[in-house]
Structure 1
Amino acid sequence: MVLLLSTVALLVARPLVPGEDPAFLSSLTDPGGPTPTFLWFLLAAAWALRAVLTRQSALAMGWVDCGLLALAGVYFLSAEFAPAIYPARLTAWEMLGMAACFLSMRQAARSQEELKPLWNALLATAFCVSLYGLYQHAWEMPALRKQYEGNLQKLKEDFAKQNPGMVELDEAFLGQLKDRVLQPHIFSTYSHPNSLASFLVLLAPSFVLAAVAAFRHPYPRRALAFTLTLLASYCLAIWFNFSRGGMGALGITALGWGAWHAWKNPPWRKWVFSAVGAGLLLAAGIWQAGFLDSLWTKEGSGGMKARVEHWQGTWRMIQAKPWLGVGPGNFGNFYTSFMNPATEEKIKDPHNFILELWSNAGATAPLIFLCVLACLFYALCKKPNQVDSPPGVQEVVNPIPPWIFYLGGMFGLLLGFVLRVEYRSTNDLISECIGALIRTAGWFFAFGILENLSTSKREQVMALALGLVAMLINLCLSGSVLFSSVMIPFWACAALALNASLPAGQFRGIKPAWGFPFIAGVTALYAFAVFIPLATAHGLALQASREGHSPGMDLGQKTIRGMDRVGHLLNRVVGPYLEAARLEPLNPRWPLGLATWYPVVFVEATRRGDPNALAYGNAALAAVEQAEKLDPQSTETALARYHLRSFFAERNKKEAARQYRDAAQGLNQAIQKDPYEAKWHYLLADTLVQALKADPNSKDKGTFQGEIKKHSAEALRLDAQFQAPMRKLTPPERIKALEWKAGKVLPTPK
């Protein structure tokens, strides 16, 4: 009972917690995402232990489980050869966590008494997520647009107050934040509308089945009305999410299902041929008429033209590293070197699950994934007449009290709420509480309706299989195959469908005595080598950032109250970052944090005449070098070198020329990794101008002047090419670049 309750709780909690950054590439990502993964490992070990103690004949494992383990193994292999090992290993662990989820669900849903309530819990979770999305559309998003539209400065100030020291508030990040806040598409509990679309598409056929079940049985009319309300609300959420890929995937799945059923009836086959022919002619007519121009045109939300550009850049990346890929979590760093020069958006995934797997872990990853899907759908489709129990074999029915599932749902909703607010600002607490109340009411309302509906195992298999197909079609245009918040529900549905497709008692696998030591060992390894250090280090860094507040761009102007400012910084800010770096020596985030705060210590120590001031400055440079070693392909580490050297140049006029030259080297490294950023070309030209002003008689004057003109011209060219505000220069920067390009305000050569 306890394990079943825990399974329901995790099944409910996972979609409520954002998990779209498995590699922890953003400084805003918190351990709330990996926590459900850790709990899935614990649950899998607990189910294996139960199988040992109760002397079960086998753990329910098959080819799909083996394929998922093999896929995780390929990811771990690719991670060891990745430039940045830390995000690669985290992503590989997330893949292994999906296998743990699949195993746990197969152990939990061994009979219809367990399978149907687990299916109901998934549907109730999907409904509460969609209901919260509708609340967003009706209330939260209009309020945000009213508050921040046309007021970027207020958005910057409010975000800095709510997230002190968490991220550098440059124009690029503010542009992304503005797009996020003002976007018209609902995202509910997810971090991106595309992730929500995949989740909604996955369970849409199951909601249709629930409505059919309510319609055909002699239930009270209010049950049918309530079920239709669930379906209508769910459809509204899909519409307001407005994912063309998601809606297209549902349409293709529905048409394919109808054509397949018609094909099974020979008299209807001619109608299938006629319908397909008419559909092709209609599609050709629509294409020629130009009605799909808005779909194909590149736009802010991304059209098909943008998708094709992303795929072309990804294919060039695959050609460069076909066998092991660039490494899990390393896609974004490499993509800027292979992207189309005219592409506006810098993506973190290619928006296609085959290309995503291939580019991350090499050619074997998509092959294994496709083999896993083939094994899964073969098991779901073979011998459909044997889904129900054969004659003489009865399912072992152990009535499970309904309160087990209600209590599991309550714990899941509570866990999701705690993980959402644990690492967030207290300013978000009221809105999160309102959202939690809406989700809780929606979940219990939906589960109470669904538990009274009766569906056969064959119908459940069909609905779940159609949902899997629809989501895979959507994943051809959307990137979320590595996101546990999206793929955990996918593999949970796959496990339920696979168990429902088997006759009673036909569960095969490995001996529990063999499986438990392996699962327990993997769980312990993840706990002590990954999760506990990650959670502890993040807590220390969060405490340090809030203690010291953000130094901003001008580090020297930040002061901290107290008599011993240097001691305060070293003990309350730098110390926690050093401990975080000790706990996670492969994480470049902590050296970058030290490179941000050591200059503050340097300034305070210099003001006090501390003889160790120079040591603090050198420690900052050493931290940047360490970050560059841990993530050599990242532009963030190169830009950190630029900011740090520029900072020292402004405070040491005697060494300014040398420091500016070193700062220019950092920008050159960033441009080599991402040559299509106008702002960086402008900053490089500006840095070289400052170097010439600091040393007018430099022997490299002629070279510098040529580089200034070159990068000024490139900055202006890129500025004219792109339309996105974050990719453009400001008017004052544009004026300076024009002057430098024309050779003005430069020191005249002797």
Structure 2
Amino acid sequence: MGSRAGKTRRPPITTSRSSSVPVDSGQEDSSWLGERIRRIALGLTAALVVARAYWPAEGMTELETGQQLPWTFALLATATLAVTGAMLGRSLRFRFSWADAAIVGLIAAVGVSASQALDRRVAINLAWQWAGVGLAYVLLRNLPRTRAESWALAGILAATAAAVSAYAVYQVGVELPELRRQYERNPERVMALAGVTAEPGSPEYRLFADRLVGSKEPYSTFALANSLGGYVVGPLVLGLGVLLAGLARRFRGDRDPFNPQPTWSSLPMAALPVLLLLVVLLLTKSRSAFLGLVVGGAILAVGLGPKLGRRGVIGGALGSIVAGGLAAAGLFRLGYLDRQVLTEATRSLRFRFEYWVGAWRVLTDGGAWLAGLGPGNFRPEYRLHKLVEASEDVADPHNLLLEVWVVAGIAGLFLLVLGLGLVLWNLLGPARRGSDEPASNPAMEADPPRPASLLAWGGLGGWLAVLMLGDLNLFADDNESLLRWLVLGAGWGLAVGLAGPLWARVPPSGVAFGAAVVAIAVNLLAAGGIGYAPVSCMLWGLAAVGLNLRDDRPAGRLRELPGLFPPFVAAAVLSALLGTFYGTVSPYWRSQALMNRADAILADHPNIPRQEDMDEVARLLDRAIAADAYATRPYLALAELELLAWLGRGAPPEDAAWNRVEEILTEARTPPRSPLSLEVRVARLNIAARMLDARRDLPSSVQGQLRTIIADAAYTIAELNPTSALAHAQAAEALAAVDQFDRAAGEAERALELDALIPHTEKKLSGPSRERLVEAIPEWRGKAEEVRAAPAEGTSNEG
């Protein structure tokens, strides 16, 4: 992750253009400034790619997806800086291949799909996350000028994976044991901090407790261990490729003045970060990542076979197997691995199959196959089409192809397959240059920048970028937050220090990059997550840098369009992108700023706020609603405020606050906001129930109205979640409370039917609930018959 660029200098190569056209001092100065600006833009790109892996990015709510927008804005600003440098230099230097066109087309297809999504705000926010990944890919492709810069970028990606792996080890050894101790002392507090609202002792509570404190799987800066596994498997394969190439060169005794032989000491030093990645991959227990490692290793063996020879391939394979076996045995001995990794593999595959069947139903029965649903809109449709026995209400299909198809439609699927295919064709294909077109060498470049500065941008710059864009708080009350970031920084520095000597002498080959991309893609075929920026940044980042280093093929060739017009065209395209960003995101930011002011006022009065404060909060929330037509959060906050205001006035029956809440929540689920929002229906049910519980002496007409709202909300929740026994049971009891006995009995029978089919304990009915429904069904059926018979009897008597 260092380089020898700059140690061997040659005079700059002159071109026919430079020898025949005189250059005035003003143009020379602007070109010099343009080059300096390009280097700054390249450093910022490296820092932002590193920073993106340092804070979670897997949420699907309005708030969680909105927290990722500053990163995309920072990349847009970096792209503006890069275009400014090109304009000052009076030329546009770029790389292009059909793979680039397909990948950019995929990002565009996702953006188009967001414009027709049901939950428009979440879709727009996530579409800009995709756009951020696309911008990072374009910048990584076009900003590097030398092989040394691309080598350094590859090292930056690998070092970042080592950094999050170092934190994963710290998490397993320090943080998770401490979390378990805290849970033993005060389980309610730990579960409350984790946002778990289930009743203690319930199946849902036990499930969350087991996942939260019973698991030893690290997740590092990600939300899930599978995401961590998908992030590290590509750099692990790349690191193995560098190690094998270093061994091959050392044993063969190759002589290359520009790439000196690696020293014997550099090989075991570089093996340590690779071993760290392997250990963390084992700790995640991600079977799909294991499979990606095996496939990537097989590609390395085939691609590097001619250089390694038969003995080298066999020795490398045996060495990798022995290292993996010893690491697995050590972790098993320490209790971090168990036999369930193997014995439950078929169970995990069955879960994936259930997700895929549900996703296929969304595509075919739901009609999403053509245009897609837009990013972040899969879960509501999946609930309507999933199998009864499916284990979770997943946010994505856990399959790379199905995920992109569901998001961006058939066009997105085609562009994904085309883009990945062309990337691998260029990375793994043979050289295409003729003998009269030698590949560029960093030593032949005029004044190449030292990659050490780029490494500083990536390491320190990435750490600081989290301070500005992410959730790093150096002044937090607890020391855990600071320790976390110190571990990340130390892990990054150690990875560079240990692997740098080998990385500088043995540049990764196209085969190594191709194997790394395949490893990530194989993992995503069963784990999903291409919509998560850190994982997709690693996939497309390795693809971009690998294509740059294939300067023996047209995809890696740096082209130049002289003059001001090409940079002007690039600036026009970027201006259109910036305008679109401002038009779609600034309403959300204005709305959130107003909501933050409202939250600050309410935070000063945690119980019942003063009337003047509630009036001010109501004005702020009204402005937040007006600012963003797509956001649902302000409506939910305003409905909650109406409840607080009603309670603050003593809950007077004559003040029909429930009618105002109904109007607010009806607007919250009216397009362009999602009509399938489960969150709005749950809020409707909860607020009506709290109003009913606030005063037991409400008039019977008011109580009946509130119970009707609760019944309607519960029934709608069951309709939106048709395979949930718990939702149908809740709907049955709510309907019975408003004398809708026929519908209540039907919902109860459906709940019992689902309860018998569902294999997952946490999704089954509790014993008392099941018994209560079994006893109630005959009673409800009888009352329904009485209701139906009553009008007929009345008519007979009158006659």
Q: How does 1:174-193 map to 2 (within 5 A)?
A: 177-182=208-213, 183-193=215-225
The answer (yes or no) to whether the contact 2:124–2:584 under 8 Å persists in 1 is: no
TM-score in terms of structure 2 length: 0.78
Most deviating of 170-179 and 339-348: 170-179
Task: Describe the superposition over 1:581-613 as per-residue Cα deviations: whole angstroms up to 9, x where unpaired.
Answer: 333220122212222222111221345x799x5
Give 1:690's match in structure 2, choosing from 729, 737, 757.
737
* 1:69 to 2:77 alignment: no
For 2:502, the aligned partner's letter is L
SS of the counterpart of 1:743?
Answer: helix
Sequence identity (%) = 22
Paired with 1:425 and 1:639, the residues of 2 have a C-alpha distance of: 37
Q: State the partner residue of 1:317.
A: 362
* 1:521 to 2:585 alignment: no
Name the CA shift for 1:209/1:649 in 2 (closer, same or farther; >3 Å): same
Q: State the partner residue of 2:42.
A: 4
Q: How much does 1:525 deviate?
A: 2.9
Name the CA shift for 1:369/1:423 in 2 (closer, same or farther; >3 Å): farther
Q: Which of the two has higher C-alpha Rg?
A: 2
Q: How much does 1:48 deviate?
A: 1.9
Give 1:352's match in structure 2, choosing from 379, 390, 399.
399
Q: State the partner residue of 2:536.
A: 487
Q: State the partner residue of 1:655.
A: 702
Most deviating of 365-374 and 62-71: 62-71
* 1:571 to 2:606 alignment: no
For 2:397, the aligned partner's letter is P
* 1:559 to 2:613 alignment: no
Name the CA shift for 1:116/1:53 in 2 (closer, same or farther; >3 Å): same
Q: How much does 1:256 deviate?
A: 3.8
SS of the counterpart of 2:529?
Answer: coil
SS of the counterpart of 1:685?
Answer: helix
Name the CA shift for 1:454/1:314 in 2 (closer, same or farther; >3 Å): closer
Task: Describe the superposition over 1:695-725 as per-residue Cα deviations: whole angstroms up to 9, x where unpaired.
Answer: xxxxxxxxx2222223223333434444545
Q: How much does 1:78 deviate?
A: 2.5
For 2:449, the aligned partner's letter is I
* 1:665 to 2:712 alignment: yes
Q: How much does 1:623 deviate?
A: 1.9
Q: How does 1:4-153 map to 2 (within 5 A)?
A: 4-21=42-59, 24-25=60-61, 29=64, 31-148=66-183, 152-153=187-188
Give 1:586's match in structure 2, choosing from 630, 651, 666.
630
Paired with 2:474 and 2:503, the residues of 1 have a C-alpha distance of: 41
For 1:414, the aligned partner's letter is L
The answer (yes or no) to whether the contact 1:127–1:442 under 8 Å persists in 2 is: yes
Q: How does 1:724-739 map to 2 (within 5 A)?
A: 724=760, 726-739=762-775
Q: State the partner residue of 1:603.
A: 647
The answer (yes or no) to whether the contact 1:336–1:674 under 8 Å persists in 2 is: yes
For 1:413, the aligned partner's letter is W
Q: How much does 1:242 deviate?
A: 1.3
Q: State the partner residue of 1:409.
A: 459
The answer (yes or no) to whether the contact 2:126–2:376 under 8 Å persists in 1 is: yes
The answer (yes or no) to whether the contact 1:127–1:230 under 8 Å persists in 2 is: yes
The answer (yes or no) to whether the contact 2:383–2:720 under 8 Å persists in 1 is: yes
Paired with 1:547 and 1:440, the residues of 2 have a C-alpha distance of: 37
Q: State the partner residue of 2:7.
A: none
Paired with 2:616 and 2:204, the residues of 1 have a C-alpha distance of: 30
Name the CA shift for 1:733/1:578 in 2 (closer, same or farther; >3 Å): farther
The answer (yes or no) to whether the contact 2:440–2:551 under 8 Å persists in 1 is: no
Q: How much does 1:105 deviate?
A: 0.7
SS of the counterpart of 2:508?
Answer: helix
Name the CA shift for 1:375/1:338 in 2 (closer, same or farther; >3 Å): same
The answer (yes or no) to whether the contact 2:125–2:585 under 8 Å persists in 1 is: no
For 2:557, the aligned partner's letter is Q
Name the CA shift for 1:58/1:292 in 2 (closer, same or farther; >3 Å): closer
Paired with 2:305 and 2:246, the residues of 1 have a C-alpha distance of: 25
Paired with 1:705 and 1:439, the residues of 2 have a C-alpha distance of: 59
* 1:628 to 2:675 alignment: no
Q: How much does 1:409 deviate?
A: 1.7
Name the CA shift for 1:408/1:247 in 2 (closer, same or farther; >3 Å): closer
Task: Describe the superposition over 1:56-92 as per-residue Cα deviations: whole angstroms up to 9, x where unpaired.
Answer: 2443343233223322332233223322222222232
Paired with 1:582 and 1:9, the residues of 2 have a C-alpha distance of: 36
Unaligned runs of 5+ in 2: 1-38, 251-259, 315-338, 791-799
Q: State the partner residue of 2:431.
A: 384
Give 1:304's match in structure 2, choosing from 346, 349, 367.
349
Name the CA shift for 1:220/1:297 in 2 (closer, same or farther; >3 Å): closer
The answer (yes or no) to whether the contact 1:333–1:634 under 8 Å persists in 2 is: yes
For 2:209, the aligned partner's letter is K
The answer (yes or no) to whether the contact 2:262–2:506 under 8 Å persists in 1 is: no
For 1:595, the aligned partner's letter is A
Paired with 2:190 and 2:756, the residues of 1 have a C-alpha distance of: 27
Q: State the partner residue of 2:21.
A: none
TM-score in terms of structure 1 length: 0.83
SS of the counterpart of 1:585?
Answer: coil
Paired with 1:636 and 1:721, the residues of 2 have a C-alpha distance of: 26
Q: How does 1:494-505 map to 2 (within 5 A)?
A: 494-503=543-552
Q: State the partner residue of 2:797.
A: none
Q: How much does 1:125 deviate?
A: 0.9
For 2:662, the aligned partner's letter is L
SS of the counterpart of 1:384?
Answer: coil
Paired with 1:313 and 1:89, the residues of 2 have a C-alpha distance of: 24
For 1:635, the aligned partner's letter is L
Q: State the partner residue of 1:251.
A: 294
